[in-house]
Structure 1
Amino acid sequence: MGTSRRVTLNDVAAASGVSRATVSFVLNDDPHQTISAATRDRVKEAARTLGYVPHGVARALREGTSRVVVLNIDAGTEGAYSRGYLHGLDTELAAHDHVLLVRHGRHTAQSTQQVLDAIAPRAVIRFGETYLTGHVLDDLGGGWRGGLAAHTALQLRHLVDHGHTRIALALPDTGSPLAEARLRFTGDAARGLGIPAPVPFVAPRPRSACADAVAALLSRAPQVTAIAGFNDDVALRVLTALRDLGRRVPVDTAVIGFDDNGYGEHVVPSLTTIDVDGEAHGRLSARLALGLDTSALEPRPARVVARESV
């Protein structure tokens, strides 16, 4: 018994009396094409009657999965690194004929299952999953060789190399799910460097509130001579707070950021920070998700962007 032939765009075009291009414009809802409502209705009706299935969906039915990779990003993990990671992930997936779907915010098991049921993605990636689950890998995708733990240690080591042993860690007020991991890695790095564990405190977004928080920190821990920021956004708040408090940077208190967001070089004093190759990490994740060889992809090591604040 023969198999039925898949309905094509040409079939829909013949049935609706329009060109193949017009059918494509209608079914893809192209906003740049002026097509009458009557024609649109006729094309959609012909597609329904013939049972037209878009090629991507048909391929998903044959392969068992679609050519979609889903990335879940928890609220509070967005930043310069995640933007670079997204770009690399999207570019690498596109090079292998896959599409990236990004889901922001909180994701429940039920909502994730709905996505699985609806589009049968090739893979589902959770941004920063190894850190959010408390697992640390000794490789480029994980912690101490080329991941967040190593980058945290690099930030702390730069301060120690400049004579600072009493350090504070400024955290965001957004409840980032990565804050706990950074606290843990900072403590581990401090032990490795032979210095006391940095004093954590929250640096709120409002200017006056951040100044109050920094003043309270320096009051209860006057021995602190340097502050490491959770990221550049937080470090820039601290820089402003110290200026508002009349403290000189770096003479009285040094400040270092993390995840170079590009704004640190435009402030006075300019912000020293840590730059991470997020794009290469995104490409690496794409290849891992697709089961491809990763030997040719090795992200460059994180580096200190030395400016005036340390």
Structure 2
Amino acid sequence: MRYVMVQIPKTPASSSPAPRSVPTSADVARLAGVSRATVSYVLNNTSAVRISEPTRRRVHDAAKELGYVPHAAARSLRAGQSRLVVMPAPAFPVGPLYSRFMTELQWALGRLDYTVVQFGTVGLHGDEAVRAWAELRPVAVLVAGAQLDPQGVAVLKRAGARAVVTLGPEAVEGAHALLMDHTAVGRRAGRHLHDVGRRRIGVVVPAEAGLEAFSQPRLRGVRDALDGTGATVTELPLAYEEGAAARLAARWPDLGLDGLFAYNDEYAMLLMRALQDRGVRVPHDTAVIGADDLMLGRLLRPRLSTVHLELPSGRDLAELVDRAVRTPGLPTERHTVLGAEVVHRESS
């Protein structure tokens, strides 16, 4: 047996560039011809120290040329306080209305010099999720839905969070609460259908996990609105799928419903299309109303009636967070923030 030795030539060291060092504020100061303190004042937008406009431009130009960005964690250590706001991703499917609100809120917090981090919660629940948020040492945590309890609030505050704010149907002890009364949405929809002469009302309840905190209060609101009127309410579980909508539409003659509150505009558009495909006339046979007042609902024919929701201002919520951060002993506040008004269009 023979062995053949093959020599593999070494790659010259010069062919692999050495990793570039991370630029520091000292590098920016040298290039701009200023002190490190001046760099800090300029890049942190410190208003207490007056810096001339030419100097500011030199510092910004030097930072851009070097690719320097401030170290958020180091800045927090120097200041003795984090400027990090954690916003856990909701554990429920979000629609366009909620997405617009969150975008406005992040913009408003950024204007107040906070760094906003959206934290993915896939696979994390309860105490495990709270500990993961606390590890980031945020100065504030904004939690949507029923993802937090009083023990979780205490954990976050012990980790340094000065403001814990919940956005949902119920308040949590120890946290500021923006209360969203979804029963009012159902009451408005149910009363509207009754006012236009409908007496056999179906209410869509989404099958998707995480929406129960919204769908059940809306169903309860419809029942409250129709209590004592002689009208009936039928709960209609529905997944947000074309096949599920088609199967429900096929049962429509047996259900005998003449009015439909479809949870929101997206489910309303899904089911209304399936009903029309089965020959159900809207609104002649069945009046339909959704919620959220999405633009797409106005483009349908017939145009979709809806419950217009007035979410809190992102700017107002950002100011609440800032107030709580600056005033650690601030008593917890509770605000009911969800306005609901019917917009009557052709579908009902």
Whether TM exceeds 0.5 here: the answer is yes
1:249 partnered with 2:282: yes
Return closer, same or farther for 1:289/1:178 CA change in 2, 3 Å cut-off.
farther
Q: Please, which of 251, 256, 267 is the counterpart of residue 216 of structure 1?
A: 251
Q: Please, which of 245, 258, 264 is the counterpart of residue 231 of structure 1?
A: 264
Structure 1 equivalent of residue 185 of structure 2: 151
Structure 2 equivalent of residue 128 of structure 1: 145
Q: Which moved more, 1:165-174 or 1:249-258?
A: 165-174
- State the alpha-carbon separation in 1 of the partners of residues 71 and 88 from structure 2: 26
**1:194-229 deviation per Cα after TM superposition (whole angstroms, max 9, x unaligned):** 25563222333443431212333552x32x211111
**1:158-200 deviation per Cα after TM superposition (whole angstroms, max 9, x unaligned):** 212212232111133432x233442234224423442556322
For 2:238, give the aligned amino acid: A
Structure 1 equivalent of residue 343 of structure 2: 305
Return closer, same or farther for 1:67/1:200 CA change in 2, 3 Å cut-off.
same
SS at match of 1:141: strand
- State the alpha-carbon separation in 2 of the partners of residues 210 and 101 from structure 1: 37
Return closer, same or farther for 1:104/1:283 CA change in 2, 3 Å cut-off.
farther
Structure 2 equivalent of residue 99 of structure 1: 115
- State the alpha-carbon separation in 1 of the partners of residues 204 and 88 from structure 2: 26
Structure 2 equivalent of residue 289 of structure 1: 321
Structure 2 length-normalised TM: 0.65
Structure 2 equivalent of residue 85 of structure 1: 101
State how many pairs are aligned.
268
For 1:99, give the aligned amino acid: T
**1:64-109 deviation per Cα after TM superposition (whole angstroms, max 9, x unaligned):** 5422222223243301321232133123212322232223453433
Higher Rg of the two aligned structures:
2
Return closer, same or farther for 1:205/1:117 CA change in 2, 3 Å cut-off.
closer
Where relative contact order (Cα < 8 A, 6+ residues apart) is larger, the structure is 1
Return closer, same or farther for 1:68/1:202 CA change in 2, 3 Å cut-off.
same
- 8 A contact 1:156–1:186 mirrored in 2: no
The within-5 A match list for 1:112-127 is: 112-118=130-136, 120-127=137-144
SS at match of 1:168: strand
SS at match of 1:200: strand
- 8 A contact 2:202–2:260 mirrored in 1: yes
Q: Which one has a larger percent strand, Structure 1 or Structure 2?
A: 2
For 2:346, give the aligned amino acid: E
Question: How far 1:117 moved relative to its partner?
Answer: 1.9
- State the alpha-carbon separation in 2 of the partners of residues 215 and 136 from structure 1: 41
Structure 1 equivalent of residue 234 of structure 2: 199
Aligned residues: CA RMSD: 3.6
- State the alpha-carbon separation in 2 of the partners of residues 190 and 291 from structure 1: 39
- State the alpha-carbon separation in 2 of the partners of residues 68 and 265 from structure 1: 39
Return closer, same or farther for 1:265/1:132 CA change in 2, 3 Å cut-off.
same
- Same amino acid, percent of matched pairs: 26
Query: Structure 2 regions of 5+ residues with no counterpart?
Result: 1-22, 34-57, 148-165, 325-329
- 8 A contact 2:121–2:129 mirrored in 1: no
Q: Please, which of 23, 26, 50 is the counterpart of residue 11 of structure 1?
A: 26
For 2:307, give the aligned amino acid: I
1:171 partnered with 2:208: no
SS at match of 1:76: coil
Return closer, same or farther for 1:148/1:288 CA change in 2, 3 Å cut-off.
farther
Structure 2 equivalent of residue 271 of structure 1: 304
- 8 A contact 2:189–2:222 mirrored in 1: no
- State the alpha-carbon separation in 1 of the partners of residues 171 and 249 from structure 2: 31
**1:238-268 deviation per Cα after TM superposition (whole angstroms, max 9, x unaligned):** 1111101101000101111111221111111
SS at match of 1:124: strand
- State the alpha-carbon separation in 2 of the partners of residues 114 and 204 from structure 1: 31
SS at match of 2:260: strand
- 8 A contact 1:275–1:302 mirrored in 2: yes
**1:14-61 deviation per Cα after TM superposition (whole angstroms, max 9, x unaligned):** 678998544455234xxxxxxxxxxxxxxxxxxxxxxxxx36434422
